[in-house]
Amino acid sequence: WAKADGKGRWTLFDPERNAHRVTRQALSSTLRPALDRGEFALEYQPIVGLDDETLHGAEALVRWRHPRFGTLGPDRFIGLAEENGAIVPLGRWVLEASCRQARRWLDDRPHNPVYVSVNVAVRQVWDSDLVADVERILDDTGLPPGLLQLELTESAVMGSAGRPLQALQALSEMGVRIAIDDFGTGYSNLAYLSRLPVRALKLDGTFVRGFRTARHENPADETIVAALVQLAHELGLTVTAECVEGREQAERLRGIGCDTGQGYYYARPMPAPSLTAWLSRAST
């Protein structure tokens, strides 16, 4: 009966769940002061050419170096920041720090420019003057607009009329590249996306995950990815595969004609100095 008793108690009061709620609350209310205290940091993950494994770009991924809870990944706090609006100043900080870093890479390696790819939340497009922020940041950092890619999710651009569409158009006219992140997890269609100023697709990791099984065991994912890549190319979009974890996945993606890949097979997200070392290695 111990089990039943335990079960009953847990439905009445779940200490773990309660702790979770307290943590969420604590995190949510301290996002802004934490930003002022400089507790956020960026890691960068290489985006690599599938054909020759050269470095094309790097995605900036935010972390919270929390004084009590240790390093927290974005899945722990980005949602909270979107709910309470802290995503606007946080996103602005991410953009600024990423562009500054990309400018340093360019200064170090003027003949091997790599772009920085920055995640942008829906609310940054709706609730803030993203275009003015980007303009100012590019101006301040001196980063050429062509070395900035903004990653938006399908839901951020779907049905985008009015403000978001104007923002995308203005950014694109500036020379900033717009990419659709986690492509394939939403309901957008390529025909629609191709009419927006979108230049690149980042294929969601779930597609590539199906490649992990032995050859021919799960050909459906490979067929779908091949068709998506072909269509994307015909519509003038480049394609990056996310979550490339193994050599066989990388080879099959290359065979399919996918342009770039990102994932643990190439490198994990790393602090800027490590990527700088990677950069020198990659270009010598």
| Of 43, 82, 154, 181, the one binding Mg ion by CB under 5 A | 181
Other beta carbons within 10 angstroms of residue 150's beta carbon come to 24
Q: Which stretch binds ligand C2E (CB under 6 A): 4-12, 156-164, 187-195, 259-267?
A: 259-267
User: The tokens 């940091």 sit on which residue?
Assistant: 41
Q: Does 91 bind ligand C2E (CB under 6 A)?
A: yes
Q: Which stretch binds ligand C2E (CB under 6 A): 15-23, 70-78, 104-112, 251-259?
A: 70-78
Q: Does 264 bind ligand C2E (CB under 6 A)?
A: yes
Q: Which is nearer to ligand C2E, 106 or 125 (CB)?
A: 125
Q: Does 75 bind ligand C2E (CB under 6 A)?
A: yes
Q: Does 154 bind ligand C2E (CB under 6 A)?
A: no
| Of 100, 245, 254, 282, the one binding ligand C2E by CB under 6 A | 245
For residues 99 and 118, what is the distance between their CA atoms, to the nearest angstrom?
9
Q: Does 117 bind ligand C2E (CB under 6 A)?
A: no
Check if the beta carbon of residue 103 is closer than 8 Å to that of residue 65: no
Give the residue ranges of DSSP H helices in 87-151.
87-108, 122-126, 130-141
The pair of three-digit structure tokens given for residue 87, joined into one six-digit string? 């995503």
Q: Which is nearer to ligand C2E, 58 or 114 (CB)?
A: 58
Q: Which is nearer to ligand C2E, 10 or 69 (CB)?
A: 69
279-284 long-range contacts, Cβ below 8 Å, gap at least 24?
279/55, 279/105, 279/108, 279/109, 279/112, 279/114, 280/108, 280/109, 282/54, 282/55, 282/112, 283/54, 283/55, 283/109, 283/111, 283/112
What crossing angle do the helices spanning 15-36 and 87-108 adopt, rounded to 10°? 60
| Of 31, 48, 50, 61, the one binding ligand C2E by CB under 6 A | 61
User: The tokens 């191709």 sit on which residue?
Assistant: 194
Q: How far is the CB of 185 from ligand C2E (least distance, A)?
A: 9
| Of 243, 256, 272, 275, the one binding ligand C2E by CB under 6 A | 243
The pair of three-digit structure tokens given for residue 231, joined into one six-digit string? 């269509």
Q: Which is nearer to ligand C2E, 10 or 264 (CB)?
A: 264
Q: Which is nearer to ligand C2E, 147 or 244 (CB)?
A: 244
Check if the beta carbon of residue 83 is closer than 8 Å to that of residue 96: no
Within positions 197 to 226, which residues make up the interface with ligand C2E, using CB under 6 A? Answer: 205
Q: Does 181 bind ligand C2E (CB under 6 A)?
A: yes
Task: Look at residue 175 and give its three-state secondary structure.
Answer: coil
For residues 151 and 154, what is the distance between their CA atoms, to the nearest angstrom?
10
Q: How far is the CB of 259 from ligand C2E (least distance, A)?
A: 17
Within positions 199 to 238, which residues make up the interface with Mg ion, using CB under 5 A? Answer: 202
Q: Does 119 bind ligand C2E (CB under 6 A)?
A: yes
Question: Is residue 280 classed exposed, middle or buried when 0-12, 13-18 and 19+ CB atoms within 10 A define those classes?
Answer: exposed
Residue numbers at the binding site for ligand C2E (CB under 6 A): 45, 61-62, 73-75, 78, 91, 94, 119, 121, 151, 181-182, 205, 242-245, 262-264, 269
Residue numbers at the binding site for Mg ion (CB under 5 A): 119, 151, 181-182, 202, 242
